[in-house]
């Protein structure tokens, strides 16, 4: 078996076996991040709009893994400067979320808040 054939087999295995598992784990991190942000946001949400606009999207090779449902998702996807094999974006769909965070309030979780290492290892 040549090194090129070995490389193809390895990439095929990663594509078929590893990526779907990682995508499921990233989905768990996304759901956890959205839940965390909605519960622990340190701002007073007068209308409920900001808290309800928090969501996530998973990208595979820069392409969403599910249909894009609104303009906020399109903006979140476009904001990624460096695309990877898999990306997870947790975003607030209201434009003023950035201003709320700039005033010192928590809108979106930081990675340390999510305990993402434990979440990614679940199910191994």
pLDDT band per the 50, 70, 90 thresholds, residue 118: low
Q: Where do the domains of the chain lie?
A: 3-113
Cα angle for residues 50, 55, 60 (degrees, 5° grid)? 150
Report pLDDT for 34: 92
Provide the pLDDT for residue 122: 60
- Over the stretch 26-63, which tens digit does the pLDDT of each residue have? 898 899 889 989 998 889 988 989 999 999 999 998 88
Tokens of 107: 């809108």
Residues 26, 58: contact at Cβ < 8 Å? yes
pTM for this structure? 0.78
Contact criterion met (CB below 8 Å) for 21 and 29: no
């Amino acid at each position: 078996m040549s090194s090129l054939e070995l490389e193809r087999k390895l990439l095929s295995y990663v594509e078929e076996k590893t990526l779907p598992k990682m995508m499921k784990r990233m989905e768990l991190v996304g759901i956890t991040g959205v839940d965390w942000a909605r519960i622990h946001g340190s701002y007073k949400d007068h209308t409920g709009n900001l808290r309800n606009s928090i969501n996530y999207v998973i990208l595979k090779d820069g392409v969403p893994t599910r249909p894009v449902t609104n303009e906020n998702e399109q903006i979140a996807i476009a904001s990624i400067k460096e695309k990877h094999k898999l990306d997870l974006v947790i975003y607030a769909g209201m434009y003023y979320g950035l201003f709320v965070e700039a005033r010192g309030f928590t809108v979106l979780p930081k990675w340390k808040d999510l305990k993402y290492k434990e979440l990614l290892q679940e199910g191994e």
